[in-house]
Amino acid sequence: MQGTGDIIRKAWKAGIVVPAFNVPYFPMVEPVARAVVDLDSFALIETARLEWFKFEAGGPAAVMAEFLKWNDPAHVRIHLDHVPVVDEDGLRTNYLSIIKEAIDLGYQSVMVDGSRLSLEANIAATQQVVELAHAAGIPCEAELGAVLGHEAGPLPPYEELFASGKGFTDAEEAARFVRETGCDWLSVAIGNVHGAVSGALRDRKKIAARLDLAHLDRLNQATGLPLVLHGGSGLEREAVLAAVQRGIAKVNVGTEIRQAYERTLKESGSVASAQDAVYERTSWLIKDYFGVAGTSELLSVPETEKTR
């Protein structure tokens, strides 16, 4: 079976995006996987540490158990999303043990997030995880720069953040970071923000973020590896597609499908109806927003098999 890292690199070279869908509730796994298969696409299903504590995902073992019920390697793979060294509440985490557990469970790619550390400390933490992941034969994603939104309380005015470039990934630092860590994918900050996960903010419409495509060009040239866009919900489609042509190979989507699930469950009281809402929204994202229906064979079949 072709590795997830090979698939992401193939997408990156071909200018095709791989959506990565976060599933903070177990019933979301099935409709997401079904939508990807039905549309003959390829996507990652992913779980982040904060979703085990602030939502109902349970933990890496519980998510893996649910994923295996719907596993279809030609269409979906499982990814360990944000495992922060320092979390959104400013607390140090046991990130290495979490990532080791996920690797032992069979996760097909992992992410360490040292973005709240100094550059040197982020490099050191990421090096540790890259070594673990590569020993297991899987890719490691890292993050450099501040993709805001998960912290408690409201963000500063967005336009001020964007105009100042505060938190944007620095191109020179990114070049050093990928060279010294050996990470396979890099999550970058270019104006994107996460959807809020704290308190009443989680139900509100997400900030209409923008992307600094010129800055992305600089990062693409500086790093020379697949880049990742977190906070993909709510961005203008044209901007996302332009970003894909400038090095973004993976786009994380959480709020878009989470709020569809939560809203429908609250209105109907029916998990089945909420699952239908997730299926419809995921299908729209794959077909109409990202435009990647029918790409599974192109991405998941090794080149030697495609030419036979």
Phi and psi (nearest 5°) for 274?
-65, -40
Phi and psi (nearest 5°) for 253?
-130, 125
Helices (H) and strands (E) in the chain, counts: 14, 8
Is residue 83 within 8 Å of 49, Cβ to Cβ? Answer: yes
* Residue 288: DSSP 8-state: I
Tokens coding 289: 């927003």
For residues 184 and 70, give the distance between their C-alpha atoms in angstroms, rounded to a whole number: 26
Is residue 2 within 8 Å of 302, Cβ to Cβ? Answer: yes
Phi and psi (nearest 5°) for 235?
-80, 150
Please state the length of the chain: 308
Tokens coding 183: 């990470």
Catalytic residue of the set 6, 38, 81, 170: 81
For residues 102 and 113, give the distance between their C-alpha atoms in angstroms, rounded to a whole number: 15
For residues 297 and 10, give the distance between their C-alpha atoms in angstroms, rounded to a whole number: 12
Q: Which residue has the tokens 């979703």?
A: 51
For residues 198 and 39, give the distance between their C-alpha atoms in angstroms, rounded to a whole number: 33
113 is a catalytic site residue: no
Catalytic residues, which ones?
A: 81
